[in-house]
Amino acid sequence: MIFILISLLISILPLSVSGQTGTRAQKAPDDITKWTNKTIMWVGPHQDDESGCLGTLSLLKANGNKIVMVWYTTGNKGSRDLDMTSERLAQIRKIESEKACGEMGITPATDTFICLGYDDGMLEYVPEKELCEKVCRLIRQYRPDAVFTMDPGTTWMKWLKTDHRMSAFITLDGARAAAYHLYFPNHRINEGLHPFTVTDYFFYSTGESNCEVDVTSVSDKKIRAHAWYVSQFGAGNFKYVGPEPDQENIKKQLSSNAERIAKGEKIYERFRRLSESMSF
Ligand SMILES: [Zn+2]
């Protein structure tokens, strides 16, 4: 009798301790660079924020995975050029981003590019429920095997600029809501979109990385890609001189990259990978 009681106690212990689903068996995360035929979603606020993980996305694309790129804003504010207008900047940023992604083999023609159209710098002033629903719908629609986004942090915190703060948190909020049919039930009833649980997150711009991806093989492409953000960095932010990137600067960077690689250095992109559901 005592034996039976003890067995019963052991069998229910994990549930009672956690109050949720019990102890989860930890398995070693698989190597994402070996993935094929999966859907990968990147979500971020601005047309250059993708640059933090374009190497990894490029490797995934080359392996036959489908890439879905989602920008919250049009990037229409971040210029110091007094002759620039918001409308023109939005057009420039869209093209720059497409060119950069194009260098890495990711294009609107072969992949999915979505811009939610919000004003740059104003994401924290948009009703959060509205943003949450938009992300939730996209997750249910595209059902990504992995989501790449900026790290909202766990123990680690840093100051993130306004849109980055909102993007980091609301992307997870939206992904979590997507797992439960009672959040935004209109998606299922009116649009036929069923709940979906994301189980693999790659957070970048992180202070808690636990995963690195060797992007040495595409590091030259990354340099060429980054050069397309003419209106974002250097002199082009003060006086737009694009759309063509600075070829001399590209040459210099390629040569220094070649020296690093010749010395045996590897180029990495680093992430905090969370390989479990956020549906709690
Ligand atoms: Zn940004």
CB atoms within 10 A of CB 256: 11
Query: What pLDDT sits at residue 160?
Result: 73
Can you read off the two tokens belonging to residue 223? 């340099």
Ligand 1 centroid to Cα of residue 78, in Å, is: 9
Q: State the Cα–Cα distance between residues 83 and 51, nearest whole angstrom.
A: 26
Query: What pLDDT sits at residue 179?
Result: 96
Cα dihedral 120, 126, 132, 133 in deg (nearest 10): -110
Q: Mean pLDDT score of the chain, rounded to an integer?
A: 89
Cross-strand partners of 204: 150
Ligand 1 centroid to Cα of residue 22, in Å, is: 38
Can you read off the two tokens belonging to residue 154? 């766990």
What strands, in cross-sheet order, belong to the sheet with 211-214? Answer: 112-118, 66-73, 39-44, 146-150, 201-204, 268-274, 211-214
Q: Which residue has the tokens 């766990």?
A: 154
Provide Rg for the chain, Cα atoms: 21
Quick one: DSSP state of residue 243? Answer: S
Flag whether pLDDT at 279 surpasses 60.
yes
Do 76 and 118 form a contact (C-beta atoms < 8 A)? no
Greater confidence (269 vs 279) lies with 269
Give domain limits for the chain.
32-214+268-274
Ligand 1 centroid to Cα of residue 188, in Å, is: 32
- Per-residue model confidence as pLDDT tens digits over 105-163: 999 999 999 999 999 999 999 999 999 999 999 999 999 999 999 998 877 666 677 89
Ligand 1 centroid to Cα of residue 163, in Å, is: 7
| Pairing mode of beta strands 201-204, 146-150 | parallel
Ligand 1 centroid to Cα of residue 122, in Å, is: 12
Can you read off the two tokens belonging to residue 140? 């249910």
**How many CA atoms lie within 13 Å of 149's alpha carbon, on the beta-carbon side?**
31
Span of 17-26, 60-69, 176-185 with lowest mean pLDDT: 17-26
Flag whether pLDDT at 24 surpasses 70.
no
Q: State the Cα–Cα distance between residues 244 and 168, nearest whole angstrom.
A: 31
Can you read off the two tokens belonging to residue 277? 């559901």
- Note if the bond before 245 is cis, omega within 30 degrees: no
Q: State the Cα–Cα distance between residues 176 and 226, nearest whole angstrom.
A: 32
Ligand 1 centroid to Cα of residue 127, in Å, is: 20
Select 32-214+268-274's CATH number: 3.40.50.10320, 1.10.10.1100, 3.40.50.720, 3.40.50.880.
3.40.50.10320
Q: Which residue has the tokens 């036929």?
A: 192
Can you read off the two tokens belonging to residue 265? 């250095």
Flag whether pLDDT at 174 surpasses 60.
yes
What distance separates the 2 farthest-apart alpha carbons in the chain? 85
Q: Which of 113, 102, 176, 96 is nearest to 139 (CA)?
A: 176
| Backbone φ, ψ for residue 127 (5° rounding) | -55, 130
Can you read off the two tokens belonging to residue 264? 């045996």
Ligand 1 centroid to Cα of residue 120, in Å, is: 9
DSSP-derived 3-state class of residue 161: coil
Flag whether pLDDT at 13 surpasses 60.
no
Flag whether pLDDT at 8 surpasses 50.
no
- Per-residue model confidence as pLDDT tens digits over 243-258: 899 999 999 999 999 9
Percentage of residues in the chain having pLDDT higher than 70: 88
Stretch 79-86: mean pLDDT:
96
DSSP track, 79-134: ---TT--HHHHHHHHHHHHHHHHHHTT--TTTSEEEEEEEPTT-GGGS-HHHHHHH
Ligand 1 centroid to Cα of residue 49, in Å, is: 5
